[in-house]
Each structure stands twice: as structure tokens, then as C-alpha cells.
């Protein structure tokens, strides 16, 4: 059995990738309001700052900063996943293992977490998550993807409206992940 070790830095900033179990699903964008409500509900109980977030049809990337002294992002993800799963109809196929454990078949069990090391690492991960709709061929310009914090950061003057239009940003996952 794998020994998963997570890095926990109180008050840290983290990059996450969270996937649906069914990689051909469009559930996250089809039920975006339910996902947003699940996140709001968890943030009311266990606050965190959303630095950046992009929701794609079957996975999402985000950067969070936790409050000083707090490193419990695992509880937050568990609560978001549960709240979202409770809000959507039970239409997914369930394996015998998931049935026996009383689980839904919506989310992959694990998620990818990376502790942001410095400003350069932060900028690379923020760019990576925002360019993802373009990388996946969902839009021709990042600004055209509606389920992204890009719009908030555009209004704040952090990104220009034409950033990453027509594939001008070339970045692979290894770059963003420090590889």
C-alpha cells in the first residue's frame, strides 16, 4: 500500500488538482452552481483564501492560501467533495468496492497537492491553472472560459485581456510543477 505524505505548512499557499472519477464527464461545469455553493459552505466553516481557480468539465486546479496557523486543507477538500456529491443526483455507476463502503462514484479518491515555494512558483502555478482551458482546447482565448478566477484577476489588473490568446503562452505541466 502506498504511503501518501502530504506537506503541511500552517498558513501556507497550495496548488491543487482535483479530478472526477469519470474523466469524460462534464459534471463540474454542468453543476457549477452546486460546486460553488459547496465551496462557499466550506469556506464559511473553515475559511481559506482563493488565489486562483479554474473549473474544467472533469477536473479543476486551484491555488489556496490558508489562515495563519492552519494547515488542514485535507478537511476542506473532503467537505467540498461531500457537499457537492450530496447536491447532485445519483446517476453514476458504482464499483462493488464503492458500494460496500457507501461511497459515491463522483470523485477520484486522491488529489494532487503542491506547496507553493516562492513568488516564481506562485506565478507559474497561477499561469498554469488559468491557461488550462486553452491547453485542453476548450477555448481559443483564456478570457473566453467562464469558470475561472482569470476574470477577477483581469479586473484587478493582474492579467491583460489578451493574455494567452490564440495559444501564445507555451507552458507544460512540468514547467508549472517545477520540473
Catalytic amino acids? 147
Question: 59 with 9: CB under 8 angstroms?
Answer: no
Helix (H, G, I), strand (E, B) or coil at 155: helix
Q: Is the dihedral of CA 123, 126, 112, 72 positive or negative?
A: positive
Per-residue CA distances from 156 to 9, 40, 86, 149, 152 (Å): 28, 22, 34, 11, 6
Question: 91 with 104: CB under 8 angstroms?
Answer: no
Measured at the CA of 24, the angle between CA 85 and CA 145, to 5 degrees, comes to 85
**Helix (H) or strand (E) run with residue 161 in it:** none
Question: Could you give the strand order of the β-sheet that contains 49-55, starting from the edge strand earlier in sequence?
Answer: 49-55, 59-65, 13-19, 112-115
> Can you tell me the distance from the alpha carbon of 47 to that of 161, in angstroms, rounded to the nearest whole number?
30
Amino acid at each position: 500500500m502506498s504511503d501518501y505524505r502530504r506537506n503541511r505548512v500552517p498558513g501556507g499557499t497550495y496548488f491543487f488538482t482535483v479530478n472526477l472519477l469519470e474523466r469524460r464527464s462534464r459534471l463540474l461545469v454542468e453543476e457549477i452552481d452546486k460546486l460553488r455553493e459547496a465551496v462557499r459552505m466550506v469556506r464559511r466553516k473553515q475559511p481559506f483564501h482563493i488565489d486562483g481557480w479554474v473549473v474544467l468539465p472533469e477536473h479543476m486546479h486551484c491555488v489556496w492560501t490558508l489562515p495563519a496557523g492552519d494547515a488542514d486543507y485535507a478537511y476542506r477538500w473532503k467537505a467540498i467533495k461531500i457537499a457537492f456529491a450530496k447536491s447532485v443526483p445519483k446517476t453514476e455507476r458504482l464499483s462493488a468496492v464503492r458500494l460496500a463502503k457507501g461511497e459515491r462514484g463522483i470523485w477520484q479518491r486522491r488529489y494532487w497537492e503542491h506547496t507553493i515555494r516562492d513568488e516564481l512558483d506562485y506565478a507559474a502555478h497561477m499561469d498554469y491553472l488559468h491557461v488550462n482551458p486553452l491547453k485542453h482546447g476548450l477555448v481559443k482565448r483564456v478570457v473566453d472560459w467562464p469558470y475561472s478566477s482569470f476574470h477577477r484577476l483581469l479586473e484587478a489588473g493582474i492579467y491583460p485581456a489578451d493574455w494567452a490568446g490564440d495559444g501564445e503562452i507555451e507552458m507544460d505541466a512540468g514547467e508549472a510543477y517545477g520540473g
